[in-house]
Structure 1
Amino acid sequence: MSMTAEQLQALISAGLRCDHIEVTGDGRHWAAVIVSPEFEGLRPIARHQRVYATLGEKIRTDEVHALSMKTHTPAEWAANQA
Structure 2
Amino acid sequence: MNASEVKELLESKIEGSQVIAEGEGCNFKITVVADAFEGLNTVKRQQLIYSHLQDAISTGAIHAVTMKTLTPAQFDS
TM norm structure 1: 0.86
Residue segments in structure 1 that go unaligned for 5+ positions in a row? none
Match of 2:46 in 1: 48
Match of 1:62 in 2: 60
Consecutive aligned runs of 4 or more in structure 1 exceeding 3 Å deviation = none
Q: Alignment partner of 1:9: what SS?
A: helix
1:46 Cα deviation after fit: 0.7
Residue segments in structure 2 that go unaligned for 5+ positions in a row? none
The amino acid of 1:55's aligned partner reads: L
Percent of aligned pairs sharing the same letter: 31
Root mean square deviation of aligned Cα: 1.2
1:67 Cα deviation after fit: 0.7
1:61 Cα deviation after fit: 2.1
Q: How does 1:9-20 map to 2 (within 5 A)?
A: 9-20=7-18
Structure with greater Cα Rg: 1
Q: Alignment partner of 1:68: what SS?
A: strand
CA distance in 2, matches of 1:57, 1:19: 20
1:17 Cα deviation after fit: 2.1
CA distance in 2, matches of 1:78, 1:19: 14
CA distance in 1, matches of 2:12, 2:52: 8
